[in-house]
Amino acid sequence: MGRKYSEGKDYKVIAFVTACFSKDDQQDLIKKVTEKSFEQNCRVIFFSTLTNFYMEDLDAGEKRIFDTVAVEKFDAIVLMAETFKEEGVHKKLVQRAAAAGVPVIAVDHYVEGCINVSFDYREAFRKIVKHMVEFHGYRKINFMAGMPNNSFSDERLEVFRQVLEENGREFDPKNVYYGYFWENPTIEAMKKMLENSTELPEAIICANDTMALTVCDYLKQRGYRVPEDVAVSGFDGLEAGKYHQPQLLTSVYNVEAFAEALFRRINDGGLVAEEKEWRVSAYHEIKVGGSCGCQGLPGEDAAAKIIQLKSDMYEQMEYQTNLGRMVANYGEGEGMDIIQKVIPHQLRYMHYYDFWFCSEQRLLIADYPFYAGSSRLHEAASGMINAIHYERQLENVAINYAERMEADGLIPELNNYLEENHPLLVVSVPTQEDPNAYAVISMDTDRFWYTAYSSFIFHLRFLLDMQRSKKMLMQVYRTDALTGVLNRNGFYAMMKQVMEYSSVKELTVISLDMCEFKQINDTYGHAEGDEALKAVGEIIRKSISPREIAARTGGDEFLIILFRGNQKERAKEIIASMNEKAEKFNGKNSKRYRLIFSIGVYSELMGEHSLDYFLREADKRMYQNKKEQKLGR
């Protein structure tokens, strides 16, 4: 088992796993948890997704986030289980943590094998119902529940019934409607309510704010006033309720108090006990608003909020347009364009400190052997991963380094970043080529553009998959199907990249031609000729390195290009290897023909010479070698 991230430190390192980091409530969670973690001498790494798995068939790749958490490295894992809508999606994470002896705290939704934290919503909801029944004295009250057989909805319905009975009011199941916690079902429930009633209720108590806001809007659209005709209350403290007219009566979740209690419990060592349930109370407080009938309450400046939201909306639309242009402009580009241009350009709009893109595959770096970057990364070995780092520099973004690291290290020099009060957010970037790729960003929590970052990650995934599809098509287009080396199209495309991206000072061309290939075709047939070409392709591929280029440019004509190191000596090694392998083939070949090559080699400094100049010179030497072989027989 590897070392923990906290080993040798005076603080604990906690993994915080939650869905949909860009939502308002999760942004607030990240800010408050970060603040309290430092106060309580802990460090937090957030792992999150773009989705909550409500559409599980469309979100399969997102589930990789649970595999990204190296559970054995953390002192504890906090799982915001209620944010994930697919039941059991985090099961493997919990099992891995149990095997590593790392406690998992599941928050607000029971998960087998975890220390389960449940919030005491009952008392907070009781305060709201009592406010409507006892303070305002409403007698004819309808209840908008969530969904049948749901623990949250059933608990709030039971509280509603109890408060009515405590105040001598009769509970009538006919006054209960189900809005399923969402807008559209609530609208349907309101239609039934108005159809079934000869008169309006005095008040409608809702099990959450989404339904309460929908109820208010539905009543207003039909000419009813809130609260004059019907009073309405909600629950769970959505920000929209603060700016609604009238302001919504609701309950506010005290994230700060929860975070403080959580880290205190972690530091007190209460997570290793056999206790499997921890009920947190008093972290919801009632927020009185005008929707219940209270008068003279100071409201939020809705006009200022609308102006801000409108400005934010235009900014978001402009950024989405930029992302659309990014896909359109670079969908046909190459891997290096994404790394060197696309990512830095889009990152500069967000308030962050550092960004890392980590992958097991070569998609990090261009899929060419001549890349001249700060580190030449290839497909990572088992247990290793490639990481490329982007550093914000005033208004610009620069690639700071690229290197290989252990897969469970998360990012290079993680310890240095844990010391800073800038939380790390890890998001999966699963692609068809590398389902385990992920991104890590160090945030300025107060200014970080969460929604834009969510869109950026989504479009980056899409763009990488587009490039993979293109690469597969181009591989078919550029590769000779018979021999496995480049065809003529592929050769010239590859050499164009070499000339553009690599500082080639000297070039060596090996021109190769099969001797008596026509005789093989005429004597043994074209099928046997194809087998001979396959053998030549295999011999060439096994004789060169990944950084050397080989192509079949004609029927039996091949080229090998060298542009690194001691090229003349390397050319001799390649020719010797090909001749040796050809002799082995000839010794095993039951046919009467033999594989014999005519070879020409030309090396020179590039200067002002074109590629075609090198090819012509190598061909001249190859044909001279062919002539000499014929004369020598």
pLDDT per residue over 233-261, tens digit each?
999 888 888 888 899 999 988 888 888 88
Q: Which of 40, 112, 41, 45 is nearest to 73 (CA)?
A: 45
Predicted pLDDT at 363: 43
pLDDT for residue 303: 61
Percentage of residues in the chain having pLDDT higher than 70: 87
Question: Do residues 179 and 206 lie in contact, with contact meaning Cβ atoms separated by under 8 Å?
Answer: yes
- pLDDT band at residue 275, thresholds of 50, 70 and 90? low
Residues whose CB is less than 8 angstroms from the CB of residue 536 and which lie 6 or more positions away in sequence, other chains included? 483, 514, 556, 558, 595
Can you tell me the mean pLDDT for 574-599?
A: 90
Give me Rg for the CA atoms of the chain: 34
- CATH top class, domain 479-631: alpha beta
Query: What is the mean pLDDT of the segment spanning 87-96?
Result: 91
Angstrom distance (rounded) from CA 208 to CA 466? 41
DSSP letters for 560-592: EEE-SSSHHHHHHHHHHHHHHHHHHHHHH--SS
pLDDT at 130 over 90: yes
More confident residue, 234 or 393: 234
pLDDT band at 36 (very low <50, low <70, confident <90, very high): very high
Q: Say if residue 282's pLDDT is above 70.
A: no
Asked if pLDDT for residue 382 goes beyond 80, the answer is no
Judged by average pLDDT, the poorest of 37-51, 383-397, 483-497, 583-597 is 383-397
Q: 167-184, pLDDT tens digit by residue?
A: 999 999 999 999 999 999
The band of 364, judged by pLDDT with boundaries at 50, 70 and 90, is: very low
Which pLDDT score is estimated for 536? Answer: 94
Q: Which of 239-243, 327-331, 370-374, 507-511 has the lowest mean pLDDT?
A: 370-374
Are 78 and 105 in contact by the 8 Å Cβ rule? The answer is yes
pLDDT above 90 (res 51): no
Q: CATH number for 309-476: choose from 2.40.50, 3.30.450, 1.10.1660, 3.40.30.
A: 3.30.450
Map out the domains of the chain as residue ranges. Answer: 121-253+288-292, 309-476, 479-631
Cα within 13 Å of Cα(128), Cβ side: 37
Between strands 277-280 and 396-406, the pairing is: unpaired
Phi-psi region of 485 (alpha: psi -120 to 50; beta: other; left: phi over 0): beta
Q: Which tens digits make up the pLDDT trace of 349-358?
A: 888 899 999 9
Does the structure show a pLDDT above 50 at 601?
yes
DSSP state at residue 392: E
Nearest to 483 by CA among 536, 546, 409, 404: 536
Joined tokens for residue 390: 């982007």
Q: H or E element: which one contains 597?
A: strand 597-605
Q: Is the pLDDT of residue 374 over 80?
A: no
User: Can you point out the beta strands (E) in 225-366?
Assistant: 231-233, 250-253, 277-280, 284-287, 352-359
What SS3 state is found at 328?
helix
The DSSP line for 294-317 is --SPPPP-HHHHHHHHHHHHHHHH
**Per-state percent for the chain, helix, strand, coil, to nearest 5:** 45, 20, 35
Cβ pair 628, 615 in contact under 8 A:
no
Q: What is the pLDDT of residues 564-584, one digit of tens each?
A: 878 999 999 999 999 999 999
Q: Residue 102: pLDDT above 90?
A: yes
Give 8-21 as a DSSP string.
Answer: TSSSEEEEEE-S-T
Q: Are 346 and 323 in contact (CB under 8 A)?
A: yes
The mean pLDDT value of the chain amounts to 85
pLDDT band at 375 (very low <50, low <70, confident <90, very high): very low
Distance CA 491, CA 496 (A): 9
pLDDT at 373: 36
CATH class of domain segment(s) 121-253+288-292: alpha beta
**pLDDT tier at 59, thresholds 50, 70, 90:** low
According to DSSP, residue 368 is labeled S
Task: Report pLDDT for 432.
Answer: 75
